Amino acid sequence: MSPSLPRYRSADWDEPVVLELGRPGRRGIYAPQVEDDVAADVDALLPPGVRRTTPPALPELSEFEVQRHYNHLSQMTLGMMGINLFGTCTMKYNPRVNERVVARPELAEVHPQQDPSTLQGILEIVHAFEGILQELSGMDRFVFQPGGGADAAYTHACITRAYHASRGELARRTEVITTIQTHPCSPATAAAAGFDVVTLPLGPDGYPTLESLKAAVSDRTAALMVGNPDDMGVYNPEMKEWVRIVHEAGGLCFYDHANFNGVMSRIRARELGFDACMYMLHKTFAGPKGGGGPAVGAYGCQPELVPFLPRPLVDLHDGVYGLDEGDERSIGRVREYWGNVPVVVKAYSWVRALGAEGIRQAADLSVIANNYMETRLLQIRGVSKSHPHLTQHRLEMTRYSLEQVHADTGIDVHDIQNRMVDFGVDAPWLAHEPWLIPEPITPEAGETWSKEDIDTWIDVLAEVVREAYEDPETVRTAPHNHAIAQVQAGGVDDPERWATTWRAHVRKRASA
């Protein structure tokens, strides 16, 4: 093993889950005894019908025991704090200073139901950030209510529905066209909104052919929902023509800017003709990620769709910021109040720190980093890239295949993921389903990562591939340096066995 590789070993706290810890009667905080007259009031607050007859089965621990337990869990968790070149997710450092900014009382201590006259500062930031996205995209208005990328795609599907309904064409326009390399949230949200999905497979140049689009477009077309560049880093140079064809048929065009990082400040949805677009503030704009909710999918659109946007929007009249509640044409809310405003503030802070020049430089750095990585990765035995005949450079991502490694050694990409984490780096993202390239990996090196970080990560992959050829058993049985070895995924797809809560676990284990 090369001496320069990280010699990682995770902590291994062999302790039960928190629900199995503690002693009856132990408490973190003793609440003071309630006075009799107050107790009477409290009893009146809760009708008897909603009161528990037995107390909840919560673990009983001291405050320090709780803190120690969760500290241990965090020490045993590798994820997302190592070198993380997790493609399609654009992993960025979330500057700590932004935590201080959003902890300020002007944001942390206010409530969206306050009178707007008392919220002028925060409204000014939302409004100013909307101006920045208007400049980056050419769109007319933005809303920050969607709680993530899929939520923004769903917003578009609902706006598509409302738009065609307003024109009396919804009964006929039942189809949304997408591509097989667009993020699965586009087809999923279109279907959730009641549309049929028409998917275009890739053509020989790594993007769908114009002919397949023409075959898919008809008077049933409600919208095109598409990402570009796609998750393989391939940019579809015919996108303007695509938009023209869909518009000619009366459909709307939505640009999922999931992969905006490599083209920030270089491509505007408006110039390509799109009616709407979406940015993820929690990836491209350095906001923190979080599963299914605490993020922001910023949705922007052209004037003809503005009436349908979720409300409220932030407006400026005579130097005073106010809330535009819209009218009955709005699709209504997709989330509470204005969405996750702290994430908007963090994104605003990030953009202001970089400036226009800095954003352009970040985009260029991410493309350079990706192409540097490609040069080194393709030197590793058994590593190839998708569509190797294409001569143009990929943007911020490239999809690779370890098919040859698998054919030669029987080691697959899951084994390689499991072994890479033994070196303290995060495993690569593979690919969305279906796998168009066998044994795929999709690393993405954004502007966050130094050349040394990228080199270390590549060195780890090279070492694991070497092991696959020379010592496959070590790779197959990995991870070895973690608190938990291979996860046994049995039951994940079995309703009889899966358990997402402790209560379900106890119940199903008892019946098994």
Partner 1 sequence: MPGPDREQDADRPAPGVAHPASGDGRRPRLGLIVNPVAGVGGRVGLKGSDGAAVQRRALWAGAVPQASVRTIRALRRLAGVTGLEVLAAPGAMGADQAAAVGLSATAIAWSGTVPSSCAPGQGLPPTTAADTRAAARELVRAGVDLLLFAGGDGTACDVHDVVGDRVPVLGIPTGVKMHSGVFASSPEAAGEATAAWLADPSPDRLVDADVADIDEVAVREDRIATRLHGRVRVPRDRARVLAAKGGTARRVDAELDAACARTMDDVAPGTLVLVGPGTTAGRALRGLGLPSTLLGVDAVRDGEDVGRDLDERGLLALLDDAPSAVLLLGVVGGQGALLGRGNQQLSPAVLRRLGPGALRVVAGRDKLAALSPGALRVDTGDAELDRRLSGHLPVRVSARETVVMAVAP
Say which amino acid occupies 114.
Q
What CA–CA distance (Å, rounded) separates 273 from 103?
39
Closer Cβ to partner 1, 186 or 398, answer by number: 186
Closer Cβ to partner 1, 114 or 486, answer by number: 486
**Min dist. Cβ of residue 457 to partner 1 (A):** 21
What CA–CA distance (Å, rounded) separates 135 from 125?
15
**Min dist. Cβ of residue 244 to partner 1 (A):** 18
Q: How many residues in the chain?
A: 512
DSSP H stretches of helix in 227-340: 239-248, 269-272
Closer Cβ to partner 1, 61 or 198, answer by number: 198
Q: What are phi and psi of 227, to 5 degrees?
A: -105, 150
Closer Cβ to partner 1, 98 or 442, answer by number: 442
What CA–CA distance (Å, rounded) separates 147 from 291?
10
**Min dist. Cβ of residue 15 to partner 1 (A):** 22
- 253: exposed, middle or buried (Cβ count in 10 Å: 0-12, 13-18, 19+): buried
**Min dist. Cβ of residue 435 to partner 1 (A):** 7
Of 363, 471, 399, the residue nearest 230 (C-alpha): 399
User: Using an 8 Å Cβ cutoff, are 377 and 458 in contact?
Assistant: yes
Cα of 183 vs its chain's centroid, Å: 10
Closer Cβ to partner 1, 183 or 335, answer by number: 183
**Min dist. Cβ of residue 202 to partner 1 (A):** 7
**Min dist. Cβ of residue 216 to partner 1 (A):** 5
Closer Cβ to partner 1, 179 or 456, answer by number: 179
**Min dist. Cβ of residue 486 to partner 1 (A):** 8
Closer Cβ to partner 1, 109 or 493, answer by number: 493
Closer Cβ to partner 1, 187 or 229, answer by number: 187
Instruction: Report the number of secondary-structure helices (H) and strands (E) in the chain.
Output: 16, 12
What CA–CA distance (Å, rounded) separates 126 from 103?
16
What CA–CA distance (Å, rounded) separates 445 from 419?
20
What CA–CA distance (Å, rounded) separates 484 from 136?
44
The SS3 call for residue 1 is: coil
Closer Cβ to partner 1, 121 or 491, answer by number: 491
Q: What is the DSSP secondary-structure string of 169-211?
A: -TTT--EEEEETTS-THHHHHHHHTT-EEEEEPP-TTSS--HH
**Min dist. Cβ of residue 135 to partner 1 (A):** 35
**Min dist. Cβ of residue 320 to partner 1 (A):** 47
Closer Cβ to partner 1, 201 or 237, answer by number: 201
Interface ranges with partner 1 (CB under 8 A): 180, 184, 187, 191, 195-204, 209, 211-212, 215-216, 406-407, 410, 412, 414, 430, 432-436, 476, 486-493
**Min dist. Cβ of residue 335 to partner 1 (A):** 25
Spell 466-487 as b/e; 16+ CB within 10 A means b.
Answer: ebbeeebebbbebbebbbeeee
